[in-house]
Chain A
Amino acid sequence: MKLPSSPGAWLKVVLPWLLLAVLLLLPASGLSANLMKLVFITAVWTTASVAWNLLGGMAGQVSFGFAVFYGIGAYTTGILMHAGWNPYLAFLVGGVLAAAASFLIGLPTFRLRGPYFVIATIGVTEAVRVVMNNLDITGGSGGYRIVEDGPFRPLEHYYTALVVVAMAVAISAIIAGSRFGLALRAIKQDEDAAADLGVNPYYTKLKVHALAAALVGIAGGVYARRAAFFYPGDVFAFQTGISILLMPVIGGIGTVWGAVLGGVIFGTVEEELVANFPNIHLLLYGSLLILIILFEPDGLMGLLRRLFRRRREGPGSPDTDKVLWGSGRVEGREL
């Protein structure tokens, strides 16, 4: 393994492990129930965010339909646990089923250029929610309840979510530095050129879609087990798909840590805002989305990077001007 060369690079390697260690040890120091729930929810959202980023950020395929995989994970876990399965096995099966569902959207649309995939992802959420509302096995629109024996074990849920999010981040980080990650970036930039260089865009997109779907499915299962009650208007909602998309965009599209940052901020803010101002928060996210696209397409990560660079270079550097005069710069820029 290559050793990092600068203090900044050291920080990049050490920080994630430090964060993980702190989160793992935190319950030992007596964490309040509320805070534990907050970390749990944030970890689940972050998993989804990191998974979306694999497909949307790295390969450039925007999906509004991740709620489908989240819901499939939730319902699979619920139904299998009801049948007496081990919950962890149920999470995995949920992930596999979500990956299988991803082919339903990907097979017809990834072959084509143009906006077909995006359109299909908007449609599939609507269609699946309607179907789920009317299926017998899911209990219809009334929702589904998971009954577990024994007392409620917040610690187990806490650690499960942490393991899942760590797994998602690790997979993302490995992919980002791998051949597969390069293929994804090539597809994002130019599919024809990627195909000329020996990347099969169709299979690559199918693969990464399935992987992302599996991760989101597992996250959905983990969420469902703790929530113990869920319904199609919640886990399969279009709103859920929107949330999953907003996180990596806010944090910084295309980078693993941007997706993590977005997930953490979104999870924290969501818990506080949703309860108090249900409409304001989407208005806020919409405006934020517009501002990010127009002025800082790299999201918060881009902003941070620029702030740090500016401090090093001092005032009056070309970058400062860009911060102040953001417009005009966007033109011709590929996101």
Chain B
Amino acid sequence: MTFSQDLNLLIAALLLAGIYAVMAVGMTVIYGVMKIVNLAHAGFLMLGAYFAYELFERFHIDPLLGAVLAMPVFFVFGMGVHWLLVRWLPKSDTPTLASLLLMFGFWLVLQNIAYIVWGNEDRSITTPRTLSAVTVGPISVPEVNLIVFAAAAVCLVVLQVVFNRSWFGRSMRALIQNPYAAQIVGVDDERTSRLTFGLGTAFAGFAGALLGMIYSFSPDFGRPFLLRSFVIIVLGGLDSVSGVALGAVVLALLETFGPQIRFHDKYIMPDSLQPALSFALLVVVLVIMPKGLASVLSRKRRLT
């Protein structure tokens, strides 16, 4: 393989990492604040893709704009879901059986409503942009992937600012660190949880729409991405936003370069096994560093 091919793959992997990060971050904030493993995340991703698809097919709205529009819509939707279902769950420091099963049930409902509405054939959003590529010297990148990456990066930066600078972000961080102490100093647990769930859902819808610009989708669209989101947030240490970015890069690099590894000029891993890679990574991470990559790095920093 030539150097330029390697470079192309590297850039593709980094672009992929951007979208993976946005996809996982919605799940991370919800887990961090409420300790709920949001299995319905897969359903929200799928709905996000169909949201952009419908806007594009019916009103000819650019899917990128559709993705941005998805944010407020899914924010309200997420707050509704929290108000209707999630707030009744018992509070706990670790994920409860009840929360897992509730979110899973909701995912089943979303998925199968989508089957009824859209059927099970694959859809895709095809714009004039879909097939064009940007070429700089030896490097060639699909235009859509670039746009999606840029949107994802902007979104993550905005989230980071909200997280660090706003009152809401401060309440979120307080709840993540210590829910009891946070309530003692006056953080409104119920309201922050509702807003967080809305925020997580908004990110899921946004990421789903972005993913829909790159891949074709069906009502079962979210499932493989659900596992990837899990792996990313486990790598990132379950509740840190910057950890998510790191986890996304690691997973994207592995998925891109894994099938390229050769031994005696033979590919070790057939392409078809690629979906199993994220699980293998998960097991390895759990065995070697159960607290995630971020914790390993921060420990080093403290020591030196």
Tell me the A residues contacting B by CB distance below 8 Å.
Answer: 56, 60, 62, 64, 104, 108-109, 111-116, 118-120, 122-124, 126-127, 130-131, 133-134, 238, 242, 249, 253, 279-280, 282-283, 285-290, 292-294, 297, 327, 330-335
Contact = CB atoms under 8 A, between A and B. Distances in A.
A238 B98 CA distance: 20
B230 interface: yes
A118 B97 CA distance: 10
B98 A127 contact: no
Nearest to B110: A286
B94 interface: yes
Nearest to A294: B88
A287 B272 CA distance: 35
A90 to B, nearest CB: 27
Interface in B59-102: 85, 88-92, 94-98, 100-102
Contact of B105 (A287, A333, A334): A287
B106 A290 contact: yes
A297 B101 CA distance: 10
Which residue, of A114, A123, A126, A327, has the highest number of chain B Cβ atoms within 10 A?
Answer: A123
Contacts of B279: 120, 123-124, 126-127
A64 B42 CA distance: 15
Interface string B215-230: 0000000011011001
B268 to A, nearest CB: 13
Which residue, of B102, B104, B227, B278, has the highest number of chain A Cβ atoms within 10 A?
Answer: B104
Interface string B284-299: 0011001000000000
B116 A62 contact: no
Given A114-B238, A130-B273, A60 B105 contact: no
A60 B97 contact: yes
B105 A289 contact: yes
Contact of B85 (A109, A126, A238, A294): A294
Nearest to B276: A127
Contacts, number: 135
Contacts of B238: 114
Interface of B: 31, 37, 85, 88-92, 94-98, 100-102, 104-109, 111-113, 115-116, 223-224, 226-227, 230-231, 234, 238, 270, 272-273, 275-276, 278-280, 282-283, 286-287, 290
B272 A130 contact: yes
16 contacts: A62-B97, A112-B290, A115-B100, A116-B286, A119-B282, A120-B282, A120-B283, A126-B276, A134-B270, A280-B116, A283-B108, A283-B109, A283-B113, A290-B85, A290-B102, A332-B91
Given A116-B234, A293-B105, 19 more contacts: A62-B97, A62-B101, A104-B283, A108-B286, A109-B286, A111-B290, A115-B37, A120-B282, A120-B286, A130-B275, A134-B272, A279-B116, A283-B112, A286-B112, A289-B104, A293-B98, A330-B90, A330-B98, A333-B98
Nearest to A334: B90
A286 B109 contact: yes
Contacts of B231: 123
Contacts of B227: 119, 122-123, 126
B101 A123 contact: no
A140 B28 CA distance: 36
Contacts of B37: 115, 118-119
Given A119-B282, A127-B280, A290 B109 contact: yes
Contacts of B89: 330
Nearest to A287: B109
A127 B231 CA distance: 13
A124 B101 CA distance: 18
Which residue, of A238, A294, A332, has the highest number of chain B Cβ atoms within 10 A?
Answer: A294
